[in-house]
Amino acid sequence: RYVQEHHPQERADVIFHGGLNGQSIPFSTTGLISWGDSAYNNLEHVGVRIYNRWLADFCALAPERHAGIAHIPISDPAACAREVEWAAEAGLKGINLPAPRGDFPMLNDPVWEPLWAACAETGLSVNTHGGGGEHYPYAGQGAQAMYMMETPFRTRRGLWVMIFSGIFDRYPNLKLVLTEQWMDWAPSAMADMDGLYNGPTGLAIRSTLPKPPSEYFRENCFIGASFMSNGEAHMSIEHDLTGNVMWGDDYPHAEGTWPDTREAMRFTFSDIDPGHTRRFLGETAIDLYGLDRAKLTDVAAKIGPTVAEVATPYTLPEDAVVGLYAFRTGPGIFI
């Protein structure tokens, strides 16, 4: 199954660096959700390598179950490409790309071309974690709600930048993962991009992109859908996105599914065809991150869950205390 952080009961984990103290990477101010002033990151490449060496050592304890996502020294694009090459040799499976912000070049800037080339050559995926990007200094009444309303949008801003600038056309095997995200926005974003492409003002776009944006999305882009709802599972099927959406439990965060992970899966997938559920829970992630299918099959046989278990409906008790977004039913994405 696909998850965002290490979880002792998962058969495979995608591991992001974290820490909400601003010091998760030594000598760096651009951590998991990309905050801090990159002007002070003169030793960032050193701290990044310290972290990535630790991550590679940790993943090597069970390489069939751990997909480590390397950090990159975002304040130095040339060093980013070199770090990708090192990370691939060390057995890591992807890189964390901070969401767009004003103190480093836009993702369509040619300065990033060596990074895309390195990722495409090594097969490392490009992962953008939820919560990042540039935002206003929210204050006053409603500040927290304002932050929450805009945080999903900020994180996925790089999607249309990479598509419209032709990055996926130049590097057709490059994979972008937008993780700790909901997925209900994806169909409308695809329709909006296609509207710009096919509309009366889209001549310039069509002259540089041979395919509509939605095709690049389906071929190159994925969503790590933390706290995935039943409605999102049905929406993914309706829009033929089951191969682009991966379930996640967001362990160990308070908004995730742990310690009710199995119940959350039943809540989300009990009425979903098992073929689709397998893709959501593991098949897509296995292919994307290059995990060992045979070894994971052996692990799954020991710890489950079984098809019958996931297909058993689960009703959340009225007095249950669960993760903040673990059993969403709507309306909206936050409940």
Q: Check whether 56 has a pLDDT greater than 90.
A: yes
pLDDT tens-digit map of 241-292? 999 999 998 887 888 898 999 999 999 999 999 999 999 999 999 999 999 9
Q: Check whether 23 has a pLDDT greater than 70.
A: no
Q: What is the pTM of this model?
A: 0.93
Q: Check whether 7 has a pLDDT greater than 70.
A: no
The whole-number pLDDT of residue 3 equals 36
Q: Check whether 331 has a pLDDT greater than 90.
A: no
DSSP string across 45-61: HHHHHHHHHHHHHHHHT
Task: Kindly tell me the sign of the dihedral angle through the C-alpha atoms of 222, 228, 231, 234.
Answer: positive
pLDDT tens-digit map of 300-326? 889 889 999 999 999 999 988 888 888
Residue 326, classified by CB atoms within 10 Å of its CB into exposed (0-12), middle (13-18) or buried (19+), is: buried
Report the relative pairing of strands 66-70 and 94-96 from DSSP bridges.
parallel
225 φ, ψ to 5°?
-85, 85
Question: Average per-residue pLDDT in the chain?
Answer: 90
Q: Which residues contact 134 (CB under 8 A, 6 or more apart)?
A: 99, 100, 101, 102, 154
Least confident residue range of 67-76, 93-102, 127-136, 160-169: 127-136
